[in-house]
């Protein structure tokens, strides 16, 4: 095919304007009319012959000059609209947190979000209460719908003062006091209707129940079933609908010295469709991690604790970054060395030996973990970290490599001369609004367990452990259940819900030291009425709700003083009996001067050495404190404190001074004091952790909690600084008057203690009562302006730390805090 390379000037007419060249199928060009191709290649070259061309070109340039901007603008608008439509389509098809935030940002440019105002006007309402005679509770409360009425019911683990083994029954009580107990009545679990508090069922066990988990279904019906465990080797599953036994772990007829189970449901491991059970078991031999089949209780696997150490806290299951499951557990106790370990869950299920189990020691210290684990993301990396207490230390362990993220041992301004102990686990809440949960902690302050003088409650920043309260909250030394938290809309509006006990005395008195009389048992010490013993006051138990917007200690939801009548309406209330006070008037009542007393040997002392009778006259003689015509109206466990004796720390020891001159005028003060010493002999306790539940009304949140009272230990005594000086002065006087060997010094000291301390006539009692409450908590704001909404509790499904019954984990839901629900 020929190619036409050029045109003569005459061939190009002035009338040709739209004619263009196109390339043919090879190397030449053809006109578009010949080829039928519409795409132009280039405009034709022209030789202009007419001056009219300049006029034509000028007119076309004029139109282009004014039309081009409009064309460019239309193109830009089209590009922008297309981009927005594409972005909108992409967000709807592929949502993600980042795109979600971008969408919120674009929405905020078109609308103003309402401002969430912190709520400070709280109201409470008691919805119902239920009482049970001679029961107490230490297990965290569990909420689960058992009767399918769309209202969660309450499951309570309880104990009594009776215990039972096969062939062994306690002497402190019998099962006849409860009609449904039959032969076993050491403890158990009971279920209450969530609407009205009526008893649904009660199941009895041999001993105390410490753990309850009702989060799984084991018998293929429509109701979740309860796993209960505790002291005395108690471990069984109970039908949640009827309260009847599904299966029970059988035990030996001879009880171990220590036999405690802490059990919880985990996911199905053997493929039978039922949840398995992970538990820590401690006997008098060693500790074990055990996995049982949830369906029938058969053993799946176990792992012995390293070095045969005991396990006294519940293990926790964590998801690692590679998606596998690991178990975190602790060894040791608060008064012995301990460590924290991590081991793959599959190693326990396969019963691998220690060397092949992949167990890893996370931490080791001079004292064990004192209050279990709490799991929460404290570093902002999206993975749960471990929060643990040991001794006085509060630590956060980074789950990335289990290094210490931060560690604090005390609050700001703590007395460095006193020993501190964290006895209950911390509570978590978004207190200051920085998207890292903060922690409420309670330190017990004193010489050693259980001799604590007072407690200090404070809030530690989740970032670094710094104290957020201006001053810690001071309470009595009585240990209560750990707290929970209430999540609210808006940043920094969450509330801590926590217990405090108070003797209602000035802080200077609370900080005064004391000690227990020699020979007091641990059980008596932990069950002593210290408010009555130290200050002649009644212990008050209180439940507070605190956030950063209200004055500490916060909104009082409950007080044992207010609800005393309710908690004592179903039982016999013991009262304080006669108390024999120290002989204060040496010239009256038949008593003798201090240097004219007789020795009274305890029956367990050895026979006196040969020749001791010859020097008997040289020994000091002690009165046996038989005071006649005295008014025995003082209660048990009463210490007169500073009013008891006039000794001060500045006074020198009594050296030959006559006691009647020192103690002159004491009878009048004792008579005035006696009128204050009468009262009921009860000790309020809150050992079961509270829980949140869906409100019965349309707003707010409901709180379910349990309290119980018990009779204080009989005849336990404490020695205050004043009474200790009294004993010391009498010892000094006896040493001056006589030469004493070690044996006689001990006898003189015991007799001096009887002279300086009150004597009690009360007997041990198993009286008590358990009361379960359901309260509604609401909040409202006044004088709201346009665009403002009042902060309200989040729905129960969005609460971060609503209970402590099973997996103790702080659920992070930051987005829910930012919008009004």
Structure confidence by residue, pLDDT tens digits, 352-396: 999 999 999 999 988 888 787 889 999 998 889 999 999 899 999
Do the beta carbons of residue 641 and residue 647 sit within 8 Å?
A: no
Helix (H) or strand (E) segment spanning residue 386: strand 385-390
CA 266 remoteness from chain centre = 21
**CA dist list (Å): 58 to 12, 70, 321:** 22, 20, 73
* 1-40 confidence digits (pLDDT tens): 444 444 444 444 444 444 444 444 443 434 344 444 444 4
Largest CA distance in the chain: 162
Q: What are the phi and psi torsion angles at 723 (to 5°)?
A: -70, -35
**CA dist list (Å): 223 to 217, 220, 281, 771:** 6, 8, 28, 26
* 105-135 confidence digits (pLDDT tens): 444 444 556 899 999 999 999 999 999 999 9
Tokens of 458: 């404070």
| pLDDT value at residue 631 | 33
CA angle 421, 426, 429 (to 5 degrees): 150
Instruction: Determine the Cα–Cα distance for residues 341 and 328; give it in Å rounded to an integer.
Output: 6
Instruction: Determine the Cα–Cα distance for residues 114 and 490; give it in Å rounded to an integer.
Output: 11
CA angle 271, 275, 277 (to 5 degrees): 115
Instruction: Determine the Cα–Cα distance for residues 737 and 602; give it in Å rounded to an integer.
Output: 23
| pLDDT value at residue 71 | 80
* 148-187 confidence digits (pLDDT tens): 999 999 999 999 988 655 445 554 557 888 989 888 899 9
| pLDDT value at residue 479 | 81
Mean predicted confidence (pLDDT) in 424-429: 92
Spell 660-697 as b/e; 16+ CB within 10 A means b.
Answer: eebbeebeeebeebbeebeeebbbbbbbbbbbbbbbee
| pLDDT value at residue 96 | 52
| pLDDT value at residue 97 | 52
| pLDDT value at residue 625 | 37
Instruction: Determine the Cα–Cα distance for residues 692 and 701; give it in Å rounded to an integer.
Output: 7
| pLDDT value at residue 480 | 84
Mean predicted confidence (pLDDT) in 396-417: 88
* 66-105 confidence digits (pLDDT tens): 677 778 788 888 888 888 887 777 656 655 554 444 444 4
| pLDDT value at residue 261 | 85
Q: Which residue has the higher pLDDT, 336 or 625?
A: 336
| pLDDT value at residue 762 | 62
Spell 628-652 as b/e; 16+ CB within 10 A means b.
Answer: eebeeebbbbbbbbeebbebeeeee
What is the DSSP pairing of strand 153-159 with strand 115-117? Answer: unpaired
Mean predicted confidence (pLDDT) in 675-679: 46
| pLDDT value at residue 668 | 34
Do the beta carbons of residue 454 and residue 419 sit within 8 Å?
A: no
Q: What are the phi and psi torsion angles at 368 (to 5°)?
A: -80, 180
| pLDDT value at residue 765 | 67
Mean predicted confidence (pLDDT) in 698-702: 95
Asked if pLDDT for residue 813 goes beyond 70, the answer is no
Instruction: Determine the Cα–Cα distance for residues 255 and 531; give it in Å rounded to an integer.
Output: 36
Q: Which 8-state DSSP code applies to residue 198?
A: -
Partners of residue 546 on adjacent β-strands: 496
Instruction: Determine the Cα–Cα distance for residues 526 and 334; give it in Å rounded to an integer.
Output: 15
Residue 726's nearest CA partner among 649, 779, 658, 669 is 649
Instruction: Determine the Cα–Cα distance for residues 226 and 140; give it in Å rounded to an integer.
Output: 13
Instruction: Determine the Cα–Cα distance for residues 543 and 573; give it in Å rounded to an integer.
Output: 23
Spell 343-370 as b/e; 16+ CB within 10 A means b.
Answer: bbbbbbbeebeeeebebeebbebebbbb
760 pLDDT tier (thresholds 50, 70, 90): low
696 pLDDT tier (thresholds 50, 70, 90): very high
Sheet hosting strand 287-292, strand order edge to edge: 259-266, 276-283, 287-292, 299-304
């Amino acid at each position: 095919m020929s190619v036409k390379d050029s045109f003569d000037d005459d061939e190009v007419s002035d009338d040709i304007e739209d004619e263009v060249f196109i390339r043919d199928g090879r190397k030449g060009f053809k006109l578009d009319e010949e080829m039928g191709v519409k795409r132009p290649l280039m405009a034709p070259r022209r030789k202009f012959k007419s001056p009219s061309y300049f006029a034509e070109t000028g007119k076309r340039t004029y139109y282009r000059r004014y039309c081009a901007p409009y064309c460019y603008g239309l193109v830009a608008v089209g590009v922008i609209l297309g981009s927005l439509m594409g972005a909108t389509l992409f967000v709807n098809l592929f949502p993600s947190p980042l795109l979600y935030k971008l969408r919120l940002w674009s929405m905020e440019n078109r609308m103003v979000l309402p401002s969430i105002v912190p709520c400070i006007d709280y109201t409470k309402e008691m919805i119902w209460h239920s009482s049970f005679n001679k029961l107490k509770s230490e297990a965290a409360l569990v909420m689960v719908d058992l009767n399918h009425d769309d209202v969660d019911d309450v499951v309570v683990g309880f104990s009594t003062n009776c215990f039972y083994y096969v062939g062994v029954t306690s002497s402190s009580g019998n099962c006849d006091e409860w009609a449904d107990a039959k032969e076993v009545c050491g403890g158990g679990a009971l279920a209450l209707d969530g609407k009205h508090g009526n008893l649904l069922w009660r199941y009895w066990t041999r001993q105390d129940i410490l753990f309850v988990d009702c989060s799984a279904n084991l018998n293929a019906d429509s109701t979740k079933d309860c796993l209960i465990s505790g002291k005395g080797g108690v471990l069984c599953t109970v039908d949640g609908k009827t309260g009847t036994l599904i299966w029970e772990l059988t035990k030996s007829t001879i009880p171990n010295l220590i036999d405690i189970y802490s059990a919880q449901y985990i996911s199905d491991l053997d493929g039978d469709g039922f949840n398995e059970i992970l538990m820590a078991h401690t006997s008098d031999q060693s500790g074990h991690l055990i996995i049982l089949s949830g369906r029938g209780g058969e053993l799946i696997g176990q792992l012995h604790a390293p070095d045969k150490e005991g396990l006294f806290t519940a293990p926790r299951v964590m998801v690692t970054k590679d998606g596998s499951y690991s178990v975190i557990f602790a060894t040791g106790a608060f008064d012995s060395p301990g460590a924290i370990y991590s081991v793959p869950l599959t190693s326990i299920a396969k019963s691998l030996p220690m060397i092949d189990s992949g167990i890893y020691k996370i931490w080791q210290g001079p004292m064990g973990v004192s209050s279990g684990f709490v799991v929460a993301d404290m570093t902002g990396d999206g993975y749960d970290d471990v929060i643990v207490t040991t001794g006085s230390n509060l630590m956060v362990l980074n789950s990335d490599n289990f290094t210490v993220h931060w560690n604090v041992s005390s609050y700001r301004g703590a007395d460095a001369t006193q020993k501190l102990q964290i006895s209950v686990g911390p509570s978590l809440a978004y207190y200051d609004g920085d998207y890292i949960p903060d922690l409420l902690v309670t330190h017990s302050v004193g010489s050693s367990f259980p001799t604590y003088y007072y407690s200090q409650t404070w809030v530690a920043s989740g970032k670094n452990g710094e104290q957020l309260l201006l001053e810690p909250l001071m309470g009595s030394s009585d240990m209560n259940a750990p707290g929970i938290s209430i999540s609210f809309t808006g940043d920094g509006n969450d509330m801590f819900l926590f217990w405090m006990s108070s003797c209602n005395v000035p802080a200077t008195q609370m900080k005064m030291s004391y000690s227990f009389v020699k020979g007091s048992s641990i059980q008596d010490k932990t069950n002593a009425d210290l408010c009555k013993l130290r200050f002649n006051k009644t212990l008050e138990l209180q439940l507070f709700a605190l956030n950063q917007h209200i004055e500490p200690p916060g909104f009082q939801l409950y007080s044992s003083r207010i609800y005393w009548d309710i908690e004592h309406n179903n039982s016999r209330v013991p009262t304080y009996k006669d108390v024999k006070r120290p002989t204060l008037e040496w010239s009256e009542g038949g008593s003798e001067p201090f240097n004219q007393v007789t020795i009274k040997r305890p029956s367990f002392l050895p026979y006196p050495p040969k020749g001791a009778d010859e020097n008997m006259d040289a020994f000091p003689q002690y009165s046996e404190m038989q005071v006649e015509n005295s008014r025995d109206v003082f209660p048990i466990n009463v210490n007169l404190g500073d009013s008891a004796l006039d000794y001060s720390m500045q006074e020198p020891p009594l050296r030959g001074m006559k006691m009647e001159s020192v103690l002159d005028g004491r009878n009048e003060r004792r008579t005035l004091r006696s009128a204050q010493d009468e009262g009921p002999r009860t000790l309020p306790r809150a050992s079961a952790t509270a829980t949140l539940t869906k409100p019965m009304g349309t707003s707010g949140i409901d709180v379910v909690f349990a309290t119980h009272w018990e009779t204080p230990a009989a005849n336990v005594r404490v020695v205050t600084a004043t009474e200790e000086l009294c004993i010391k002065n009498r010892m000094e006087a006896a040493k001056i008057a006589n030469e004493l060997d070690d044996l006689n010094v001990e006898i003189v000291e015991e007799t001096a203690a009887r002279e300086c301390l009150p004597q009690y006539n009360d007997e041990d009692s198993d009286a008590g009562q358990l009361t379960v409450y359901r309260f509604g908590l609401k909040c409202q704001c006044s004088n709201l302006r346009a665009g403002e909404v009042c902060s309200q509790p989040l729905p129960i499904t969005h609460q971060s730390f609503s209970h402590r019954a099973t997996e103790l984990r702080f659920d992070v839901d930051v987005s829910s805090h930012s919008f009004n629900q």
